[in-house]
Each structure stands twice: as structure tokens, then as C-alpha cells.
Structure 1
């Protein structure tokens, strides 16, 4: 059954990132304000569910202690799930404005409380660093796919005893670059993978069909995780680690529209845009246009 009213919930956490410079904090927590200020909610005709306020970012970290801000992140993920779950149960589609990629934990925890759900993972990076393939884990925004599939800091992988939060067979990764450091590890799992190069070589409609087959065939629905650095860095430069050889905003918009119109789509989170790196708001305007075209019901 098709879901109803689009509702926007802010999750402006930057807990999963390392400091960009000594004495500073990652600016992606400003993402919701930048998009709201450009009229996103009005363009989407969306309800406003407010904000899950994150705890203070702590830049201090020591090698070997696990993920930065892990205790605060665990608490925040549970609070985010508590806010998201009732919206889902009301039959709403939800747009969660991050924040960094660690907000995926709370979003999938809310779904895992309800049953088996799939994940579309749109990202230039695999975010698959974990103790099995790296000397150290350090920032959950570079490890979120590993964490939600059960690999990583013990304080994050099994919240409420519900980990892993998604089954590997129900995950489709789209847009990761072919030179990703952990790509070989990812391909050794049951996770389905479409690199940005493969994406560029095929039509959007066939890709939509392939993704839906992965994430909706055996599940009660699916979630979309959008790390905006999946877009080619020439267009999406306001991210902590922009990458070349990615899809355009136009191609991303087509893909999102096709996925979002599926009756099985529960919602989407949007992450990693840093307004500090976009003083003229160029990327913000592109993001608003993309989301408006992809998520509007008109």
C-alpha cells in the first residue's frame, strides 16, 4: 500500500566524523538549516516533525578506543529511532535531514524494531571499514555500512540487542567508486553492488528495477540512504571528501524519483553536505532542486 504524507525530520548530528581541522567541528550539522532556508519544505509540501537535537561533538580521540563519540552516538541513534518510528507507523514517508552518515544507525534501528527492511545505499564510498579489514576504527561515518550489517564498535553494532540492523542480501550499494579501498571486502559479502562506472554505462530504469529487486523482494519495505558525495565532485564539491567519476545531479534525481515512487519505500536520509564549504549556496540550490523533483508527489 502506498504511503502518505511526506514529513521532514532533522537529525543534524556530526558525531560520526573526524574534525576537519584542529579546533574545529564538521559543518554538516548545518545541512537542514541550509536546505530549509531555501524553501525545501514548501517545495515538497511536507509536514515538519522538528529536530532530534544531537549531543555535543567531542573532538578528542585516542587510537585504539573505538569509534569517536560512540557512547553519545549510541544514545542519539536510539532517540532518533524513537522519533522516527511513530512517523513510520502513521503511514508517513519520511525525509531525514542529516548530519553525517552515522544517522543511518538510528533510521535502520527504527525499521528493525518493526521487521525486515532493505537498504539502498547511495554513496561514493563503501563506508565498510571495520576491525576485520583495518588496523583501527575511528569515525562511524566512514563505517556505517559495516556497522549496520554487524561489523564494528561493539557499542554501536547491537543497540537494543537488534543488530545487525539490515541483512546483507537486502542491501544494494549504488555509486561507490571502483577504486574504493574496501571494495574487495564488500564484494565478498552478499551485498549487491553497482559502481558509479557501471551506473554510467546503463540506463536508469533498468538500474531502478535491479535495486528494487534487491531491497524489496523479501522485505516489508526499504530505506534510502543518500550520502551526497555520491554525486560527481565537479557538481557536489561541498562534502568532506568529494570524488570524481560520479553521477550528475540529473541522473541522481531520476534514480531517486524511481525508487521513491515505489510503494515499498519508507523514507530517505540525506547526509554529508557541508554549508561551510558552500558559502554561495551553489550546492544547496542543486540539492533542493534534486529533492524537490525526486520526492514531490505532484
Structure 2
């Protein structure tokens, strides 16, 4: 971590998800309050806690971009980027709580405006597809593609900053949706891609250190971590919108994340997709908080 001082930024947008038939709207917008209720904020003891309320949820499909709620996502991303631009500081580490994965867009814009950053993308899916390949039209399933410049310019080129991350500066790790049509786009990209099988074969600490070596070799100003909790094993984190069998154990999660948070080049991490509606007793969030705080404390100790 670039500092042992921490800000918490709450960006509880659910605009990137398509709701299920049984929902009024996706419950991921409740995540900041849920984490706070279970002691997350108190354990972190942030310098500041800042929050931006999202636009009202709809399922509107934007014809121009092929993405649901595109205009509202852009509006929210711009507000996010302004807050994050004001708080990014070499003496403050940013813990950003979603929401869904579409919050990566606003965070990416802020980082691009500040310099040349890398992205370590930890997710149970690649999120590297285009609208025509998406079954939902949700930006939360396309966020990695969007921030690396794929898709309509209204989302990929806000403030003429396209791409927000260069493909060569991105690692995507943890995907376990192995359908050839789904993974084909990322295999054809310049992103360093480690699906769950390859990640285990290569080693978690080794993979993290390979990314850190890339950060230094490319003389990047720093890097940001995207964490979708659906990367975790379904037995220990089923409170997500798109479940898959298998996934990281907490031991594997610790081995992967500890070297990253121990690096002085790490400027922030976003936590997405954990849905309190799917964890009414807090069983899964409590275990997540316990493990995440332990890893975070190790990162602070290395600063």
C-alpha cells in the first residue's frame, strides 16, 4: 500500500446489473451499509468516509451503446472520478466499496487523469466482452472491456481519455467461466490472463509478483486492484449475482492479495458484487471482513 492511512469511498451503484425476476432492483447497493454494520469501517478507521448516491435504478437499454443504463452510468462515473481525483494522494490508500463492477469506469477515469496506472483485475469472470456477446446488456459484465477501450465511445472515451488502462498494463485473474466463445476475446488481447486453473498452476504469490515486476518495468505511477467477490469459492461466498462452482479459498485469496497490498505502488482497491440480500444473517460477509482486514493490516505493516 502507498500509505497506512486509508480513505473509504462508498459508490453503491447497481446500474450495471440486470435484476432478476424476483427483485425490485439488485441488492449490491446495500453493501457499504452492510459492511459498516458488520464492523468493516470501524476496523479500518479511515481518515475520511465519502459517499456518492447513484441515480435511480432502471433496466433501460441504451440503443446507441447496447448497454443498460449507459447514460446514468456515465453520469455516475463522472461524479466518482471527481471525488477520487480529489482524494488520490501519495499519503492515502483508497478502499472503494460498490456496488457492482461498473464502478470501475469512474475509478479508471480518475486514475487515467492522474497518470499511467496498471490494473490487477481479480474476478470470477473476465468481464471482457462486448454488448453483442452479453446476455444481459449489463455494464458489470463488460467493465474490463470498457476500461481498456472496447465498446461505444460514450462509455470508453469519457473526457477523451480512451483507453483508461492500456491492455499491456492489465492482469486479469480468477475467471472460471471457461466457455470458448466467452474467453476468446481476452485470449486475443494483450492482457495477461490467468484463469483459475492457470492461476493455481502458476502460483498465487508468483502471479502477483509477476504483475509487480511489470509495474516497475513499465515505470507505472502505481496500480489499482479490482475485486469482485465472486472470485471466491462458491461455498464461502455464494452471496453474488452470478455464481459458478469452485473459486478461490481464503488461503489462496490471501496468497494472491498480500503481495499486492504490500507494494508501495498500490493506490487503491474496489470491492464489488457482494449482495446483502443474499446473506441475510451476515455469515459470509463476516468471514470476508475477517480475512480482508487481516490482509489489509499486513499491507499496512509493510508500508
Structures share fold, TM-score greater than 0.5: yes
Q: Describe the shift of the 1:266–1:6 C-alpha distance in structure 2 as closer, same or farther (beyond 3 A).
A: same
Q: Describe the shift of the 1:136–1:276 C-alpha distance in structure 2 as closer, same or farther (beyond 3 A).
A: closer
**CA distance in 1 between partners of 2:201 and 2:90 (Å):** 39
* Aligned CA-pair RMSD: 2.0
Partner of 2:106: 106
Partner of 1:222: 223
Q: TM-score, normalised by structure 1?
A: 0.93
Q: Does 1:29 align with 2:26?
A: no
Deviations 1:240-296 (A, max 9, x none): 012122111222123222101100001000000001011111111122112201112
Q: Does 1:173 align with 2:184?
A: no
Q: Describe the shift of the 1:184–1:215 C-alpha distance in structure 2 as closer, same or farther (beyond 3 A).
A: farther
Q: Does 1:79 align with 2:74?
A: no
**CA distance in 2 between partners of 1:137 and 1:164 (Å):** 24
Q: Describe the shift of the 1:217–1:137 C-alpha distance in structure 2 as closer, same or farther (beyond 3 A).
A: farther
Partner of 2:40: 40
Q: Does 1:17 align with 2:17?
A: yes
Partner of 2:257: 256
Deviation at 1:55, TM superposition (A): 0.7
**CA distance in 1 between partners of 2:58 and 2:105 (Å):** 19
Deviations 1:14-65 (A, max 9, x none): 0100012266200001111111111112212322322111110112437776
Partner of 1:291: 292
Q: Does 1:59 align with 2:59?
A: yes
Deviation at 1:140, TM superposition (A): 0.3
Corresponding residue SS for 2:81? helix
Corresponding residue SS for 1:156? helix
**CA distance in 1 between partners of 2:73 and 2:191 (Å):** 25
Partner of 1:274: 275
In structure 1, the gaps of 5 or more residues are: none
Q: Indicate the structure with greater helix content.
A: 2
Runs of 4+ in 1 over 4 A off after TM superposition: 62-65
Aligned residues: 297
Deviations 1:179-221 (A, max 9, x none): 1442121011110011111222343321221121234431110
Q: TM-score, normalised by structure 2?
A: 0.92
Question: More deviation in 92-101 or 193-202?
Answer: 193-202
